[in-house]
């Protein structure tokens, strides 16, 4: 069977009550024997799984049936013990169920009823492979002991319907309302507001209007954390819930929200499916969802069981295409509200005059020019490649020193003294007058040949300075260090 109905119309009770009635009227297992799993209910999120299990516990309180809930994020030992004792109804998420099946703890050979809640989410690309593995372990859906398969959802896209028909056999379709229809008592509206002004608008609306219990939906997990922190800084008690939170934190947050201790819940789409909390007055779509069907499930958290509620959406100019897709799906136009507050720190739509940015100069090439002494001059290809401003400046500071009084920090090894007339030329012999090492001219010899490093001059070494020993090496003027002076 394929059932479609609006959010908040009681789809959980629609399949839970008949299942409990049929199982309680059938043959029961003996007390000493292990109960086989006779009904399997699959849902996409941990929160929805726990909620369905609570409904099964409430509806079957006075029946001999037992049930267990299985989902990830918590230890599996209590779940394994429950399966070993035997359960009649098993409520699970596909991932943890497959883990226990591979370990040999979950036996599904006696399942007579399979329920897929939020079927459109269960049959999309994120769950379809896991669903097929689970169905392969179930009894067939034909023969004298055929399995019954039930699919329930508020939305059913065409491509998901084709997958459902491949799983179902001669299904009966039941529609309480048109597919993807929103509840009649939800008052919808939209604010066209830039993304940077959404926090101010949210703070204003939550503080100004009478909101008893609020759910704010964001597109990303980090966005949910940012919105919650911003509301808390403004004095509004809010907590975030998303997939990165530990399961114990998610349970505590939902419990605080249901009890009223936390009036604002900021969540991703894990709370958009089947979350049933009483008296939610407002639902905010802080970010327009990329999937139009998600909008229907989000606003369905309010106006449940005949109550009324408000759904407010914030639409950035870049999200208007997503808003039009939602209006096409729901076949209604969402009213636009213009009662914006007075915003502060409004971002300028254009850069100020004189702003030197790449947006004003899209064709500019190369690195930007710098001011003062840090500006790098254009390099002359015909000049000596060892000289630059830094070397010139350093040599200019040392022009008052004599060449034979400088220290060579790069080569401090002792040299053998040179004997005049021996024909040996010391490596530290001074160069000619035109040897421009770093921009400083030496005196006494001819200019070396151009290109590359200058060759060492030949000839007798001049007598050393009287105050300087002959074996002390002559320092060399450094060229440009790599990566410096630019």
Task: Identify whether the C-beta of residue 319 lies closer than 8 Å to the C-beta of residue 327.
Answer: no
Asked if the model's pLDDT at residue 387 lies above 50, the reply is: no
pTM of the shown model:
0.66
The sign of the torsion formed by the CA atoms of 443, 448, 454, 459 equals negative
Enumerate domains of the chain plus CATH numbers. Answer: 2-175 (3.40.50.300), 186-330 (3.40.50.300)
| Cα–Cα–Cα angle for 205, 320, 190, rounded to 5 degrees | 25
Report pLDDT for 464.
53
Q: What is the pLDDT of residues 233-283, one digit of tens each?
A: 999 999 999 999 998 999 999 999 999 999 999 999 988 887 788 889 999
Q: Which of 57-66, 183-192, 303-312, 448-457 has the lowest mean pLDDT?
A: 448-457
Task: Identify whether the C-beta of residue 479 lies closer than 8 Å to the C-beta of residue 386.
Answer: yes
Find the helix packing angle between 247-259 and 46-59, rounded to 10°.
Answer: 60
Give the ranges where 173-291 is alpha helix by DSSP (H): 198-208, 221-233, 247-259
- How many CB atoms neighbour CB 354 within 10 A? 6
Report pLDDT for 358.
42
The sign of the torsion formed by the CA atoms of 18, 121, 134, 151 equals positive
Asked if the model's pLDDT at residue 351 lies above 60, the reply is: no
Report pLDDT for 270.
87
* Most confidently modeled range among 177-186, 290-299, 367-376: 290-299
C-alpha distances in Å from residue 419, one per residue of 413, 422, 459, 465? 19, 6, 12, 16
């Amino acid at each position: 069977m394929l059932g479609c109905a609006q959010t908040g119309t009681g789809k959980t009770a629609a399949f839970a009550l008949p299942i409990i009635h049929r199982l309680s009227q059938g043959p029961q297992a003996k007390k000493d024997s292990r109960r086989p799993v006779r009904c399997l209910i699959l849902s996409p999120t941990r929160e929805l799984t726990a909620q369905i299990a609570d409904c099964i516990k409430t509806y079957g309180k006075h029946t001999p049936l037992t049930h267990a809930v299985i989902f990830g994020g918590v230890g599996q030992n209590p779940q394994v013990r429950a399966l070993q004792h035997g359960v009649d109804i098993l409520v699970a998420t596909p991932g943890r169920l497959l883990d226990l099946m591979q370990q040999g703890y979950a036996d599904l050979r006696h399942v007579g009823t399979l329920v897929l809640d939020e079927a459109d989410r269960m049959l999309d690309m994120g769950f379809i492979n896991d669903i097929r593995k689970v169905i392969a372990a179930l009894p067939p859906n034909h023969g004298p002991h055929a399995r019954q398969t039930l699919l329930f959802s508020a939305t059913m896209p065409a491509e998901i319907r084709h997958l459902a028909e491949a799983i179902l056999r001669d299904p009966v379709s039941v529609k309480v309302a048109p597919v993807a229809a929103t509840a009649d008592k939800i008052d919808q509206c939209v604010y066209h507001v830039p993304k940077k002004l959404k926090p101010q608008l949210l703070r204003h609306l939550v503080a100004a209007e009478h909101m008893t219990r609020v759910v704010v939906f964001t597109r990303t997990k980090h966005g949910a954390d940012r919105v919650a922190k911003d509301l808390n800084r403004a004095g509004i008690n809010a907590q975030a819930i998303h997939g990165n939170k530990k399961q114990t934190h998610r349970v505590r947050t939902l419990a605080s929200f249901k009890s009223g201790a936390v009036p604002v819940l900021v969540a991703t789409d894990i709370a958009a499916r089947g979350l049933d909390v009483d008296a939610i007055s407002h639902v905010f779509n802080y970010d327009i969802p990329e999937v139009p069907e998600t909008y229907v499930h989000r606003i369905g958290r309010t106006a449940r069981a005949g109550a009324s509620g408000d759904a407010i959406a914030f639409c950035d100019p870049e999200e208007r295409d997503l808003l039009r897709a939602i209006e096409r799906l729901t076949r209604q136009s969402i009213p636009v509200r213009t009662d914006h507050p007075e915003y502060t720190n409004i971002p300028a739509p254009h850069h100020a005059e004189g702003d030197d940015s790449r947006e004003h100069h899209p064709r500019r090439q190369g690195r930007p020019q710098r001011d003062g002494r840090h500006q790098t001059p254009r390099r002359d290809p015909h000049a000596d490649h060892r000289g630059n401003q830094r070397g010139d400046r350093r040599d200019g500071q040392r022009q008052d020193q004599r060449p034979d009084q400088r220290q060579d920090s790069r080569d401090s090894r002792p040299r053998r003294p040179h004997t005049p007339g021996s024909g040996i030329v010391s490596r530290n012999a001074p160069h000619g007058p035109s040897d421009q090492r770093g921009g400083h001219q030496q005196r006494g010899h001819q200019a070396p040949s151009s290109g590359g490093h200058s060759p060492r001059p030949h000839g007798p070494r001049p007598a050393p300075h009287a105050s300087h020993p002959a074996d002390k090496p002559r320092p060399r003027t450094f060229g440009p260090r790599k990566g410096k002076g630019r």
